[in-house]
């Protein structure tokens, strides 16, 4: 019945999210969720909001939340845009800031939603190969382009690009919008937010899904100079004026204000990551250096897909990407609790 579809929809290759299994009792290390719950203050705020009137629309501009995010980062509220998950923020950035004549640039191995947005919005793009050690080489981006986007740390490799390199990228690309997707920056990298004041073309995006343990609330945001934020608002108000419901606005504000809490759960995840990497290396895995809440690892003697399937039989779910071929030997494993790491290492010991 696809004769009813538009040409754009016929041409789409949609993003495939990691599985959300309905079975309980699985050790779920496949979608980079935080193993710890959100701040108790988030639950309080959401409960209090539930007692208020759901009859009324939420604040279309999320003013209180944007003020809270601005205070946390030391920027002005008109430098903050919020959306229904950072995926929505990114989608608006593609349409508002990255759709130009020239192709945009992103790494060949990166967040697989970027080419999907290019398909949806009919944006030309060129994939720039990572180095043999899966690093972004900034010099490769000093060519005419319609914009640049990548996550830092990158996904699914976990590798971090130093802030000095991002500054060099910005200096060499004064006329292109550069989007740095900091979905995982709270797990060990230097943020580019402090560069926003000096670089009118820089947009930094963040999510509460990973470091704040709020994947279910769907809140993400962007920080940039007001002219970039205005472009995002123009798209938002041409699509959905109320992307964040009352619960999301109240819960996200409580989480940002309780930064001591989310910083403490990030520190726990980072400590577990160190242990997990050591354990994997002992089993013969090669693990890329990770600044994220996941690791990217391969075993010289074992096939990635086969290992993922064998773990699944032992009720442990990790993520495996068949494409591109260069990463098919790897597993992307979310850092869970210490107990989950121990269970994973025990299972791998039996397999490797």
In whole angstroms, the minimum distance from the beta carbon of 31 to ligand PLP comes to 8
| Pick 77 or 85: Cβ nearer ligand PLP | 85
| Pick 86 or 173: Cβ nearer ligand PLP | 86
Contact 286, 298 (CB under 8 A): yes
In whole angstroms, the minimum distance from the beta carbon of 62 to ligand PLP comes to 15
Other beta carbons within 10 Å of 263:
11
In whole angstroms, the minimum distance from the beta carbon of 149 to ligand PLP comes to 10
Cβ neighbours of residue 287 closer than 8 Å, sequence gap 6 or more: 277, 280, 281, 295, 296, 297
Residues forming contacts to ligand PLP in the complex (CB under 6 A) are 85-87, 111, 151, 155, 181, 183, 207, 209, 215, 220
| Phi, psi (rounded to 5 degrees) for 223 | -125, 130
Other beta carbons within 10 Å of 276:
26
In whole angstroms, the minimum distance from the beta carbon of 155 to ligand PLP comes to 4
Helices of type H across the chain: 7-10, 40-51, 63-73, 85-97, 113-121, 163-172, 226-236, 246-257, 259-282, 304-313, 338-351
In whole angstroms, the minimum distance from the beta carbon of 86 to ligand PLP comes to 4
Q: Tell me which residue has its CB nearest to ligand PLP.
A: 85
Contact 287, 329 (CB under 8 A): no
| Pick 207 or 272: Cβ nearer ligand PLP | 207
| Pick 290 or 299: Cβ nearer ligand PLP | 290
Longest dimension (CA), the chain: 59
In the three-class reduction of DSSP (H, G, I as helix; E, B as strand; rest coil), residue 128 is classed as strand
In whole angstroms, the minimum distance from the beta carbon of 106 to ligand PLP comes to 11
| Pick 34 or 299: Cβ nearer ligand PLP | 34
| Pick 298 or 332: Cβ nearer ligand PLP | 332
């Amino acid at each position: 019945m696809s004769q009813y579809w538009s040409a754009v929809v016929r041409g789409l290759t949609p993003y495939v999210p990691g599985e959300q299994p309905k079975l309980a009792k699985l050790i779920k290390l496949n979608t980079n969720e935080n193993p710890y719950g959100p701040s108790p203050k988030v639950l309080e705020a959401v409960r209090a909001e539930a007692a208020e009137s759901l009859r009324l629309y939420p604040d279309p501009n999320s003013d209180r939340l944007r003020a809270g995010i601005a205070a946390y980062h030391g920027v002005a509220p008109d430098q903050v845009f919020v959306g229904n998950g950072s995926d929505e923020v990114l989608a608006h950035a593609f349409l508002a800031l990255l759709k130009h004549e020239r192709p945009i640039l992103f790494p060949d191995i990166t967040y697989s939603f970027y080419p999907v947005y290019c398909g949806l919005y009919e944006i030309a793009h060129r994939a720039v190969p990572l180095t043999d050690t899966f690093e972004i080489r900034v010099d490769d981006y000093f060519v005419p382009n319609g914009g640049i986007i990548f996550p830092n740390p990158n996904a699914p490799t976990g590798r971090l690009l130093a802030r000095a390199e991002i500054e060099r990228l910005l200096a060499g690309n004064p006329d292109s919008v550069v989007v740095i997707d900091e979905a995982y920056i709270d797990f060990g990298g230097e943020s580019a937010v402090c560069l926003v004041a000096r670089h009118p073309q820089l947009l930094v995006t963040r999510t509460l899904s990973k470091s704040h343990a709020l994947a279910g609330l769907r809140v993400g945001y962007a920080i940039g100079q007001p002219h970039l934020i205005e472009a995002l608002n123009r798209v938002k108000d041409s699509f959905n004026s109320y992307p964040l419901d009352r619960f999301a606005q109240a819960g996200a504000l409580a989480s940002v204000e309780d930064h001591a809490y989310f910083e403490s759960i990030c520190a726990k995840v980072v400590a577990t990551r160190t242990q997990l990497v050591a354990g994997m290396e002992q089993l013969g895995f090669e693990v890329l250096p990770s600044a994220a809440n996941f690791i990217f690892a391969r075993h010289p003697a074992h096939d990635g897909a086969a290992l993922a399937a064998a773990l699944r039989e032992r009720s442990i779910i990790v993520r495996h990407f068949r494409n591109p071929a260069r990463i098919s030997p790897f597993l992307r494993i979310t850092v869970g609790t210490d107990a989950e790491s121990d269970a994973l290492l025990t299972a791998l010991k039996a397999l490797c």
